[in-house]
Amino acid sequence: MARNDGDITTPIPRTQRVSVADRVRVRRGVEAAVASAENAPHARVAARVEGQLPAERMQVHTGVQVRPRLGLKRGSVVGGTYRIVDRIARGGTAIVYRAWHITMAREVALKVLTPPGTGREEQFEARFLREARTLAALAHPNIVEVVDFGRLEDGRCYLAMEYLDGPRLTDLFRDPDVSTADRLDVILQVVEGIQHAHARGVVHRDVKLSNAMVVLRNGQRLVKVLDFGLAKLIEDEQELTQHGVTMGSPHFMSPEQARGQDLDARTDIYSLGVLTWVAFTGEFPFAGPTATATMVQHCVEPVPWLSRVPTLVPIPGSLCETVRRCLAKDPDERFPTARALADALQVARTEARQGQHVGITTPLATLLPPPANTAPRAHGPSTLRLALLAWLLVGTACLWWQDQGVVPPPWTVASQERAARPRRN
């Protein structure tokens, strides 16, 4: 067997293929672990042999995927500044910790990048750094504040943000005590934050319920838009994701985002329309059995009417057309800017405070709304029922006439004789 960077280039007997292939994969994984350990600034590697690698710093899974232990312990100090208090959440590419800023004496949310170990770490790191720079350039009450960002001792990137203690919009909109005007006020704050980002050339591209949090400030609800990890600078032509690659949340994707096309600020307008729909119905306007099916529905299914589905609370009349315009398939038919959308929502909020509602119905456990662009079905008697009713009335009249002697019954002698008489010309 010839060696060519770990690849099998000559035929191997059938009985030896599995064992040889496993040895090759393990060797390639070990070589990758050695290279990773040598490049780390804190590594203590004496030689390129498996026996001298620290076992606790390496994991080999019959392949080249190698991931060190990524968790941060409670009480540990990161960068000499942040003391880890607890872990808040963990996602596919990052872990969020609650930490204490030793110098500033304040709590922060520390977001630490955790590359998936698929060989695309540089791309994830570039996207993470873009999120940090994007948030640092945005200063708005409805956008989470960035405190600091940098690298840990092991080379991973981190992002320190203000610590927020409050529910996500997912939990807030489930509360039936939240009124129509309050829901519109919360949505308006999300739109204001997105408008601020758009004005500075930033498209969020992942607007959804879980990416907005509500906190109490001076007894008032204050909404903070989070997670600009997929944000795109409108004027920046250098993309981090390849053309045709779809990234985002399927339930909130615009049709052009589902197709992997170029995006602009109007894709956030579509997502804000979905967010508003869910805020008042508790259901998604498009929800297929799989993520792919949901994305297809965004592209081909007719735009639904908010007034034709059950709602959680009464809705203003103007809100139906506002949401429908946001959900238009063609970006040119949507609101041109988030500011225009905010103006329309303010009209709906005024109507809600004045009690101008179109009604309220009990939500049903349905995944999809009724088909849109269809005229309401007339609820009247069918043609068959009308024919049966007419036949019954005629039969009843004939029996009444026979009972009164106006017409002799067909089974009597008089009727038979009358029928047998010759007709006169």
Q: Name the catalytic one among 154, 171, 182, 206.
A: 206
Residue 129 parent element (H or E): helix 121-137
* 332 contacts: CB under 8 Å, gap ≥ 6: none
Using CA atoms, how far apart are residues 298 and 294, in angstroms rounded to an integer?
Answer: 6
Length of the chain: 425
Note if 185 is an active site residue: no
107 forms bridges with which residues in the sheet? 100
* 360 contacts: CB under 8 Å, gap ≥ 6: 311, 313, 314, 315
Other C-beta atoms closer than 10 Å to the C-beta of 137 total 13
From the number of C-beta atoms within 10 Å of its C-beta (0-12, 13-18, 19+), residue 286 rates as buried
**Order of strands, edge to edge, in the sheet holding 146-151?**
77-78, 82-90, 94-101, 106-113, 157-162, 146-151
Using CA atoms, how far apart are residues 311 and 278, in angstroms rounded to an integer?
Answer: 9
> Which tokens is 389 given?
């009713």
Q: Which residue has the tokens 């079905």?
A: 377
Q: Which residue from 40, 64, 67, 47 is spatially nearest to 56, judged by alpha carbons?
A: 67
| E strand map for 183-329 | 202-203, 212-217, 220-225, 232-233
Residue 110 near residue 160, CB atoms below 8 Å: yes
Backbone angles phi, psi at 109, to 5 degrees: -100, 120
Indicate the residue type of 63: G
Using CA atoms, how far apart are residues 29 and 33, in angstroms rounded to an integer?
Answer: 6
Other C-beta atoms closer than 10 Å to the C-beta of 60 total 18
Using CA atoms, how far apart are residues 184 and 352, in angstroms rounded to an integer?
Answer: 9
Q: Which residue from 70, 98, 96 is spatially nearest to 83, judged by alpha carbons?
A: 98
Other C-beta atoms closer than 10 Å to the C-beta of 77 total 13
DSSP 240: S
Active site residues: 206
